[in-house]
Amino acid sequence: TDAQLKTLIGRGSGETIQMQFAGDGWLLVQPSEGRVDVAATASGRGLGNLLGG
């Protein structure tokens, strides 16, 4: 049983993601355990709106 404090306050998901990218360019990874506004992402108002899309 994982009884750490972060688990009790809802920040202990323990998810691990592996990704591979190839080619020219750059990538910024900014981890966050904050809440995601699912309604904004589902309606297309997420990052696309930020970039004018």
pLDDT tens digits, one per residue of 3-17 = 666 666 655 556 667
Q: Is the pLDDT of residue 50 over 70?
A: no
DSSP state of 44: T
Q: What is the pLDDT of residue 28?
A: 85
Q: What is the pLDDT of residue 40?
A: 59
Q: What is the pLDDT of residue 24?
A: 95
Q: With beta carbons less than 8 A apart as the criterion, state whether 4 and 12 touch.
A: yes
CA distance 27 to 20: 11
pTM of the model: 0.27
Q: Is the pLDDT of residue 53 over 50?
A: no
What are all long-range contacts of 15-24, with beta carbons under 8 Å and residues at least 24 apart? none
Nearest to 19 by CA among 7, 31, 9, 5: 31
